[in-house]
Amino acid sequence: MQQIKFKTFVIIIYLFVFSCAPKEKKLVSYQGFTQGTTYSIKFYASSDSTSIKQGIDSILSAINHTASLYDTNSIISKINNNKTVDLNDDFIKIFNKSQEISKATDGCFDITVGELVKAWGFGFKNKTDLTQSKVDSLLKYVGYNNIYIENHIVVKKHPETKIDFNAIAQGYTVDIVAEYFLKNKCTDFIIEIGGEVRVNGKKQNNEKWVVGIEKPAISEIADQIIQEKVSLNNKSISTSGNYRKFFIKDGIKYSHTIDPKTGYPVHHSLLSVSIIADDCTTADAYATAFMVMGIDKAKEFLKQHPTIEAYFIYSDSICKNQVYFTNKFFKQGE
């Protein structure tokens, strides 16, 4: 499962935002950098937006301190170094949701692949030249059933196991920011972090929110082109894809999505998957899980989970892009 978050971005088509009160409102745009990626938050404010921005900064800082692998003093980094840490609520919520989706997907989503991701080199400058023997040795420490929380402490079966939240943390952060807005009675907004998007309410002219799904690019640096547009109503959308982040060695293309069962990057016809869900945490994690499954297994999974809406772009037997989507995917703006 991919754990260094190189997500295929959902392109935001309309970036109008929300009102916090019935007074005269002004458009506020707030962008920055967090968790190794960019974010864009836009909203209407009826007064000075300084306190709102300060609240957002506080949330982003707290999640960074919890889940960042680049911060050696973060909670997750300390746990990966086998230090005893009293967990905060954010860590526990991300961990529990991760374990829930791991069980639901039979381990296609798994936060314990951190050492494998690092070894393959995604997100890091230096990568190990992996042999089958090396992969097998690292796979011994992968498995969501080998790690749990007891008395606010992470317990590992194998000290060598490394946790990676990057396939779920950005979606979780979007949800926390959304909850912050809603608690402050701001009901019409759009939040995007690393391509994970959540919208609430409507645009200022009472129109529905519309976002775009990117067409698979021919190269990592190719311009973004819209494949499809979809309207949303109080929903979240997350897209994962395998065509922008990869490396080629000895003529073989290695995707950034790591299969926690084999220890190798996934290699199948699925190019991208977009998931619509009520919350962004769920959408984020399932987008990654489906990229591991591949389109055939994902279709079977969807038959048993009708509340998940998905849009797939895949390559057929003659390398032509095709699409498949669930019945209600384009009805989420209703």
The pLDDT of residue 17: 42
**Residue 121 placed within a domain:** yes
Quick: pLDDT tens for 264-312: 888 888 888 999 999 999 999 999 999 999 999 999 999 999 889 999 9
Three-class secondary structure of residue 322 per DSSP: strand
In a domain, 268, yes or no: no
Neighbours of 247 (CB within 10 A): 15
Mean pLDDT of 72-83: 96
Least Cα distance to 49 among 165, 237, 181 occurs for 181
* pLDDT tens by residue, 237-277: 999 887 555 555 555 445 678 899 999 888 888 888 999 99
Domain membership flag for residue 127: yes
User: What CATH number corresponds to the domain at position 136?
Assistant: 1.10.3980.10
Determine the Cα–Cα distance for residues 13 and 328; give it in Å rounded to an integer.
21
Distance CA 39, CA 41 (A): 7
Nearest to 295 by CA among 252, 253, 331, 242: 242
pTM of the model: 0.88
Would residue 107 count as lying in a domain?
yes
Indicate whether 207 belongs to any domain: no
Question: Number of folded domains in the chain?
Answer: 1
Q: Which residues, listed in sequence order, are joined to residue 323 by a DSSP beta bridge?
A: 313
With respect to residue 249, please indicate whether it lies within any of the assigned structural domains.
Answer: no
Q: pLDDT tens, 188-226?
A: 899 999 989 999 988 878 888 889 998 876 656 667 788
- Reported as a pLDDT band with limits 50, 70 and 90, residue 62 is very high
- Assess if residue 88 is contained within a domain: yes
Residue 306: inside a domain, yes or no?
A: no
Q: Give dist(CA 256, CA 242) in Å, integer.
A: 7
Q: 333 pairs with which residues across the strands?
A: none
pLDDT of 16 higher than 50: no
Question: 137 Cβ partners below 8 Å, 6+ apart?
Answer: none
Taking the C-alpha atoms of residue 2 and residue 256, their distance in angstroms, rounded to an integer, is: 6
Tell me the average pLDDT across 38-52: 82
pLDDT band, residue 73 (cuts 50/70/90): very high
Asked if 260 and 101 touch (Cβ cutoff 8 Å), the reply is no
Domain that holds residue 87: 72-156
Integer Cα distance of 130 and 120 in angstroms: 7
